[in-house]
Amino acid sequence: MLTTWLEPWGRALLFGAGYNTSLVTLGAMVLGASAGMIGSFILLRKRSLVSDAVSHATLPGLTLAFILMATLWGDGRWLPGLLIGAAASAAFGLWAVQTIRDRTRLGEDAAIGAILSTLFGFGVVLITAIQSMNVGGQAGLTGYLVGATAGMLASEAALITACALLLLVAVFVMRRAFLLVCFDADYATTRGLNARHIDLIMLMLLLAVVVIGLKVTGLILIVALTIIPPVTGRFWTDRPLRMVAIAALCGALAGYLGVTLSSVRSGLPTGPLIVLAAFLLFAVSLLFSPRRGIVATLAAHQRFKRRVHLRQGLLALARDDAIYDDLTLRVLRRHDYIRRDGVATPLGASAARDAEHEERLWALYRNCYPDEAAQLDHQGLVPINSALPPDTVITLESDLQRIPRSVQ
């Protein structure tokens, strides 16, 4: 059973499952990369929901284009025609959302909800109408809902790949302008950028990705490809363009895994498999990313706890207080700060003096700048030199020397 699955999948993974499948795999990878890139900027601009509105708004245009082509030529399955229809109605949906947001008191989320459901509902009605028509190829339309790459023509796959590649280049060209607007649109304006235009370009690229991806992931699930990879990227880095690059990588990987898996058996939907692959990458990141992953967070908490115990232990040594806490004793002993019987070693005594000095600097800082100190979240546990600018530390040191010890 397992081998009958693994063997064809392995062949697909190595691009050995025929010309068509290989081309589709390549297309899905490039698509995933561009969706991840543009999706990252959309996420940083805090407009992720817009991609949901765009994707659902494609349905009426798609079906209308199908009806139009079917009545003219008897067959409505020509991909470029369908995509143009989808793009037109997505653009209309986007325009409607913007207009409602700008002209009324409704927020963008409310506008998205209203437009998304209306246009999608309209599209479903049109699909029902098509099913009662007597034209060929209507079964193919459901492929646009959840994605179907199995029966894709080589020319279609080539078109998708080429468009996705173009988008990839476009996002790369615009990356710095996008970043500036995402971080601070006002500042971007003062640098001579028209923030509204940049926003519009961003949305147009998003729209293009959604439309191109219709056949691959389907319109319901394309939104996952513009949101999950960027969120995954956020786990691995604190740098903006690196996050975009990681999102592109995750998107490409999800497309690769999804399409190859769906080629194993006929009838396996591509979209859900791509999304599941994307989610798998997300789940792995959520658990194991070294910066923000759950495991790393737990480990960091343990380290933090030890640091608190170490500091408290050293301060107790400096004051000659007795230490009862087991963990504190263990941490001190591990650092060779105390002997087995609890007496401070020379090393421990000097560390205790340093800790006391640090503590006094921090106390002085809290005294002088209470508001500023309240904003720091580590409450004086980090070495003061690494937490405050050098000029501040020098001022504190000289202030500390002026104040007699008895007053402190």
Partner 1 sequence: MNAALDPEIAASPLAVHGLTVSYGRKPAVYSVDFVTPPGSMTAIIGPNGAGKSTLLKAALGITRRLSGDVRVFGKPYAEQSRHVAYVPQRSSVDWDFPATVLDVVMMGLYRDLRWWQLTRRRHRDQAMQSLSRVGMEAFAERQIGQLSGGQQQRVFLARALVQDAELMILDEPFAGVDAATEKAIVEVLKSLKARGKTLLCVHHDLATVRDYFDHVLLINVRRVAAGPVHQAFTSAALQEAYGGRLSDVQLARIICPAAHLTQRA
Beta carbon of residue 159, minimum distance to partner 1 (angstroms, whole number): 26
DSSP H helices, 134-291, are: 143-146, 154-183, 185-190, 195-217, 222-236, 240-262, 270-288
Beta carbon of residue 343, minimum distance to partner 1 (angstroms, whole number): 37
* 333 vs 366 by CB, closer to partner 1: 366
* 7 vs 372 by CB, closer to partner 1: 372
Beta carbon of residue 168, minimum distance to partner 1 (angstroms, whole number): 14
Beta carbon of residue 161, minimum distance to partner 1 (angstroms, whole number): 23
At how many degrees (to 10) do helices 79-103 and 108-132 cross? 150
Distance between CA atoms of residues 125 and 381, nearest Å: 63
Q: Is 153 left (phi over 0), alpha (psi -120 to 50) or beta?
A: beta
Determine the straight-line distance between the first and last CA of the chain, rounded to whole angstroms.
77
- Residues engaged in binding partner 1 (CB under 8 A): 44, 46, 172-177, 179-180, 182-184, 186-187, 189-193, 234, 237-240, 243, 368-369, 371-372, 375-376, 386, 389-392, 395
* 198 vs 331 by CB, closer to partner 1: 198
* 54 vs 388 by CB, closer to partner 1: 388
Distance between CA atoms of residues 143 and 270, nearest Å: 9
Residues contacting residue 141 through CB under 8 Å, at least 6 positions apart: 62, 63, 66, 127, 130
* Contact status, residue 254 vs residue 32, Cβ threshold 8 Å: yes
What separation in angstroms does the CA of 68 have from each of 62, 121, 396? 10, 19, 77
* 3 vs 190 by CB, closer to partner 1: 190
* 87 vs 231 by CB, closer to partner 1: 231
What would the two tokens of residue 12 be? 């697909």
Beta carbon of residue 72, minimum distance to partner 1 (angstroms, whole number): 42
| R_g of the chain computed on alpha carbons | 30
Beta carbon of residue 220, minimum distance to partner 1 (angstroms, whole number): 29
Beta carbon of residue 235, minimum distance to partner 1 (angstroms, whole number): 10
* 291 vs 339 by CB, closer to partner 1: 291
Beta carbon of residue 126, minimum distance to partner 1 (angstroms, whole number): 40
Q: Is 336 left (phi over 0), alpha (psi -120 to 50) or beta?
A: left
* 96 vs 182 by CB, closer to partner 1: 182
